[in-house]
Structure 1
């Protein structure tokens, strides 16, 4: 099956990732990176409301400046940047929770060439991954401590998943990478409590993780996909024993990769306990639909938005 462009109509499907939220201690600088380097445009500049903060069980986020961004000529996917308190000692790819956002890009080499001198640090140059010949990835960390995987789809989908192509410089997050304390427990939560399906498992040398923890390059990591039909959702990675819970400022969301927002068929079918009240929200991300949030076993915050 060949790679495909996801239309705006097809995007509104349960299981799709609707948004990724990044907490940043320097909103202006991060905004310059996401607009100037990644080519995104601001579509909303409303601050975080007390109701939103309560729905995430993060009361200190109320009133914080925020920006919603979207790529022109792309899917309705939204990147959300929120101003946050610096967290001493936080380092990307060292803690449990959302570890990285994996985006589709139109041209890896062209985007890679824009990284020098920006707020992004390349931690993995564009190259084919052994055993995966249908996309070229490269990886960066941002000034907020977030990690982005930037993938150019080449020549087809995986055995049980469809990988989206794009015409935009940077488009939708199509996989959320999760650093798990206990991979099996995390998979059980995402499947039994949230309704995702379990996909394939791979055991591979994972250079991003090995480099982060100073492990020998041949060290392998077990990783399992979750999905909805052929739509990928999360890559659940079993993180090393040296990983720790993510340090977080009191009353705030986790720093860096903070929230992944999924479209869901109905909040009434969610078995997991909610972090706060169910909201009807307006704006370009929610469009009047109901939303709520849960916390997974590795500390990951999952926001669920009912599909149109």
Structure 2
């Protein structure tokens, strides 16, 4: 089981985003509406109240979702250049087949399938959509408890890792340990093509990263971003552009007392299922929405 529940991305045209993911990622819409004012306030994004949103579920039927929220474009925003949630990573059964599909799609292939430096358990590729969303599509070569990786049930399955861009990797890793009590691997340095391209780094450059497990599966990746990275620009009172929120399950709300940026309340809908949900803010200011449930 994964603790990851939902990845939320801001889009300029909700209908277009839905069509893109239904047609090419084989997702289906399970909920649609307008962002309630109290939820927007919990996200510290009152300007997002009343904006359209949709929740989409993968073809596998897994209850781990993508959520799109309408927002006005931020012209100065550039993907993989700022701190905060950087990318959504979906697990796939056959990355070469997915690549062929993506080449025919409106998504731009920005990284073709290739082995990942230092990680023999996965084979990723990367695409970018019309809303500048960066999506990693990763074949799991060695699923199971030993690797902490899932076994996808559809060609393109659920989000399985959310990527957080950090100005201080060790500070954020310590925050994850202290606040959430999650085990993390020691940082490793690898060649990271997406960061190389975004910042114009030489091929000899290495990027440090670490990952966190919960309920036996890896679901968070923390990346150390170069000094040239900046805080994410955003419209006043609105959700930040790009990946705005990661939503996770967590069983021990008593542990989180004193850390809430927005206190838990009961919420309905596909993402919340009538459970309590509150909001934490990571050291770099990223929104981490927490729904009561799951097991560590």
Secondary structure class of the residue paired with 1:304: strand
CA–CA distance in 2 between the matches of 1:236 and 1:78? 21
CA contact (8 A) 1:259 1:301 kept: yes
1:259 has 2:277 as partner:
no
1:246 aligns with 2:232: yes
Given the alignment of the two structures, is residue 176 of structure 1 paired with residue 162 of structure 2, yes or no? Answer: yes
Q: Whole-Å Cα distance in 1 between the matches of residues 258 and 282 of structure 2?
A: 9
Picking from 246, 257, 265, the partner of 1:279 is: 265
**Aligned to 1:201, which of 180, 187, 194?**
187
Going from structure 1 to structure 2, the CA distance change for 1:130 and 1:198 (only over 3 Å counts) comes to closer
1:55 aligned residue: 42
The correspondence of residues 9-158 of structure 1 with structure 2, limited to 5 A, is: 10-11=1-2, 16-116=3-103, 118-157=105-144
Q: Structure 2 unaligned runs (5+)? A: none
Unaligned runs of 5+ in 1: 1-9
Question: Per-residue displacement from partner, 1:196-235 (whole Å, max 9, x unpaired)?
Answer: 2222321111111011100101100111112225321311
Counterpart-to-counterpart distance in 2, 1:72 and 1:217 = 37
Alpha-carbon distance between aligned partners in 2 of 1:64 and 1:123, rounded to the nearest angstrom: 30
> How far apart are 1:131 and its partner, in Å?
2.7
- The alignment yields a C-alpha RMSD, in angstroms, of 1.7
CA distance in structure 1 between the aligned counterparts of 2:280 and 2:142, rounded to whole angstroms = 36
- TM-score normalised to structure 1 length: 0.90
How many residues align? The count is 294
- Taking a change above 3 Å as real, the CA distance of residues 91 and 197 of structure 1, as seen in their structure-2 partners, is same
